[in-house]
Amino acid sequence: MRFWDSSAVVPLCVTEPRSGGARDLLKGDPALAVWWATRTECLSALTRRVREGEVTPTGYRSARRVLTALSEAWVELQPSEVIRAMAERLLAVHPLRAADAFQLAAALAWCGGRPAAHNVVTLDTRLRDAARREGFETLPVGE
């Protein structure tokens, strides 16, 4: 099982340059752990793409179906005081936005605070760098 950030889930739902790599990672390990707000963050990204003309309404409906199927199978980390406290600590030591701090805090909660040998899948540069500094292995490799 790997922890997936929203930035890596969206390419599973719509076709974009990084979709092939994301789908390959999913095939290699189809169990996803995600933060509680991931579905909402993905919907935000998808609706923005529709507004900007990058995704058609038909493409959006298809992407929603994929997102629904993923969300019915993934493990979702729920909000808690522990995750909030971790996110606040992460904001103090990494150049993260609040949403990314919650993502990384959820990943830390998921692995029991022992990130060595655990993977975070993200396409977000800041989150990837912070996850590495916290001790996670990040995917995709080469990012």
Q: CB 107: neighbour CB atoms within 10 A?
A: 29
Nearest to 20 by CA among 128, 103, 140: 140
Q: What are phi and psi of 32, to 5 degrees?
A: -110, 140
Do 13 and 67 meet the contact criterion of CB atoms below 8 Å apart? yes
Any idea of the CA torsion for 102, 110, 76, 4, to the nearest 10 degrees?
70
pLDDT per position as a tens digit, 85-133:
999 999 999 999 999 999 999 999 999 999 999 999 999 999 999 999 9
Q: What are phi and psi of 45, to 5 degrees?
A: -65, -40
Number of compact structural domains in the chain: 1
Domain range for 122 is 2-139
Do 50 and 60 meet the contact criterion of CB atoms below 8 Å apart? yes
pLDDT per position as a tens digit, 3-58:
999 999 999 999 999 999 999 999 999 999 999 999 999 999 999 999 999 999 99
Query: In this structure, what CATH number is given to the domain that contains residue 46?
Result: 3.40.50.1010
Over 13-75, what HEC string results?
HCCCCCHHHHHHHHHHCCCEEEECCHHHHHHHHHHHHHHCCCCCHHHHHHHHHHHHHHHHHCE
- Burial class of residue 85 (count of CB atoms within 10 Å of its CB; 0-12, 13-18, 19+): exposed
Q: What is the pTM of this model?
A: 0.95
